[in-house]
Structure 1
Amino acid sequence: MANSPQAKKRARQNEARFQVNKARRSRIRTFLRKVEEAITSGDKDVASAALRDAQPELMRGVTKGVFHKNTVARKMSRLSARVKAIG
């Protein structure tokens, strides 16, 4: 357990940051789930709209440090390829 005032403050800050990042991650996963559901439904218009909505959320996750930029680039690439493949 933290003993010094500085360590106690860092513990408080870490907990607050963890809660913010957890909410951000959850929000991004929700957007990704919507894209996945649209892809499985087979509706290309809905899927591409969901992908357009998800992209800024993913990029915001990169700038806020929740995800690595290559992780997001990989996810966007794979999702856009799957949306494009819908006949």
Structure 2
Amino acid sequence: MANIKSSKKRILKTIKQRKHNMSYRSMLKTFIKKVKQNILDKNKDLSFLSFQKMQSIIDKQVNKGLIHKNKAARYKSKFYMKIKNMN
């Protein structure tokens, strides 16, 4: 543990921020799993609705700096193409 008071505060703040970021990353993974499951179930309408929800969450996380914009674009394009090519 640090000896300087500001360092101790910074450690506590970092722990709090990490918990916050981890919850957002967990939420993203949950929505990605929902889209994947709907695609596997071959339900095009439900897949598209869950994709739209996932897309808005990804965009919010890019703006917050939690994920890189290229990673977000990769997720969005991959799932959109899978939904588009569904029968």
TM-score of Structure 1 vs Structure 2, range by shorter chain? over 0.9
The aligned counterpart of 2:21 is 21
Alpha-carbon separation, structure 2, partners of 1:7 and 1:23:
25
Tell me how far apart the structure 1 counterparts of residues 59 and 3 of structure 2 sit (CA, whole Å): 38
> Quick one: percent identity of the two aligned structures?
31
Q: Which residue of 2 aligns with 1:84?
A: 84
Shift of 1:37: 0.3
Off by >3 Å, runs of 4+ in structure 1: none
Q: CA deviation at 1:79?
A: 0.7
Cα distance in 1 between the residues matched to 2:13 and 2:62: 20
Q: How does 1:1-87 map to 2 (within 5 A)?
A: 1-87=1-87
Q: Which amino acid aligns with 2:85?
A: A
Q: Cα deviation per residue 1:1-24 (whole Å; 9 max; x = unaligned)?
A: 222111111101100000000000
- Corresponding residue SS for 2:47: helix
CA offset digits 1:54-77 (Å, max 9, x no partner) = 111011111111101110011101
- Quick one: distance in 1 between partners of 2:75 and 2:64? 17
The alignment's TM-score, normalised by the length of structure 2, stands at 0.95
Q: TM-score, normalised by structure 1?
A: 0.95
